[in-house]
């Protein structure tokens, strides 16, 4: 079965410093992986997705993620954090017989200090 | 497009009452998903529809929960009778197709059962 594990429940960075949110996946076949962001009291927004094309995926707002099969990882990074990046981030894997279901990680809350 | 619309945004009810949550997907999207978000269990898929037909309801917690999609532009999630443990944020999402298609989330309904 497909699953994801987010290694940190909370990450705190200073504004202008790099962001690293870690995610490991488990999948019996080549996975489709996503990162979603949820700002307080808002719905979820897709940041980026990996679907077996380029292993380095660029998303919105300067975020990117690298798919590493050897490490079963899909970590999310950003070179320089902005105050508006403070939110909860979810690593997600596609699952189900037809790939229609999304399985969410537990989430990582990112705090950005001024 | 207005995006996925959910109503109400907030619902407070007493244990034993019937609760109905509503969702209008993005026009042209063939898939509709209902999720529940709680602190304890994170984000869970409850049920999803394809072309108004329920495909997978394995995530529906128990018989008190039911979902319908009478037409392509409207879906309901009903809880009868409601219990305090049903308190959560319920999200509706829609997507154009299956596979790698992005799911677009609504703003959610925050349900509190007293």
3-class state of residue A27 by DSSP = coil
Location of structure tokens 């993005």: B26
Please tell me the distance from the alpha carbon of residue A48 to that of residue A92, in angstroms, as a whole number. Answer: 10
Q: Is A98 on the interface with B (CB under 8 A)?
A: yes
Binary contact (B42, A99; C-beta < 8 A): no
Q: Is B32 on the interface with A (CB under 8 A)?
A: no
Mean pLDDT, chain A, rounded, equals 92
pLDDT score of A96 = 77
Please tell me the distance from the alpha carbon of residue B78 to that of residue B91, in angstroms, as a whole number. Answer: 13
Binary contact (B107, A42; C-beta < 8 A): yes
Contact in structure between A54 and A112 (CB atoms under 8 Å): no
pLDDT score of B1 = 64
Please tell me the distance from the alpha carbon of residue A91 to that of residue A47, in angstroms, as a whole number. Answer: 10
- List chain B pLDDT tens, one digit each, 114 residues: 689 999 999 999 999 999 999 999 999 999 999 999 998 899 999 999 999 999 999 999 889 999 999 999 999 999 999 999 999 999 999 998 766 678 999 999 999 999
Residue with the bigger pLDDT between A77 and A102: it is: A77
Percent of chain B with pLDDT over 70: 96
Query: Strand A108-113 relative to strand A44-50: parallel, antiparallel, unpaired?
Result: unpaired
CB contacts, 8 Å: B106 with chain A: 43
Contacts of B84 (CB under 8 A, 6+ apart): B15, B113, B114
3-class state of residue B74 by DSSP = strand
Summarize the confidence of residues A6-30 as an average pLDDT. Answer: 94
Instruction: Tell me the per-residue pLDDT of A45-94, one tens digit each, with 9 for 90 and over.
Output: 999 999 877 889 999 999 999 999 999 999 999 999 999 999 999 999 98
Please tell me the distance from the alpha carbon of residue A54 to that of residue A47, in angstroms, as a whole number. Answer: 16
């Amino acid at each position: 079965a497909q699953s994801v594990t987010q290694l940190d429940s909370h990450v705190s960075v200073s504004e202008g410093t790099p962001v690293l949110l870690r995610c490991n996946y488990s999948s019996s076949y080549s996975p489709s992986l996503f990162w979603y962001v949820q700002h307080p009291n808002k719905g979820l927004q897709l940041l980026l997705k990996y679907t077996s094309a380029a292993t380095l995926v660029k998303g919105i707002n300067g975020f990117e993620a690298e798919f590493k099969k050897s490490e079963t990882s899909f970590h999310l990074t950003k070179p320089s954090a902005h105050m508006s990046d403070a939110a909860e981030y979810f690593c997600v894997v596609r699952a189900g017989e037809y790939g229609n279901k999304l399985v969410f990680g537990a989430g990582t809350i990112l705090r950005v200090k001024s | 497009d207005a995006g996925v619309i959910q109503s109400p945004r907030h619902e407070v009810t007493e244990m034993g009452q019937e609760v109905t949550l509503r969702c209008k997907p993005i026009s042209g999207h063939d898939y509709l998903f209902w999720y529940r978000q709680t602190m304890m269990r994170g984000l869970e898929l409850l049920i999803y529809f394809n072309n108004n037909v329920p495909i997978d309801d394995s995530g529906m917690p128990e018989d008190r929960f039911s979902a319908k999609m009478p037409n392509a532009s409207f879906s309901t999630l009903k809880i009868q009778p409601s219990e305090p443990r049903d308190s959560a944020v319920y999200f509706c999402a829609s997507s154009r197709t299956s596979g790698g298609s992005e799911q677009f989330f609504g703003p959610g309904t925050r349900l509190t059962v007293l």
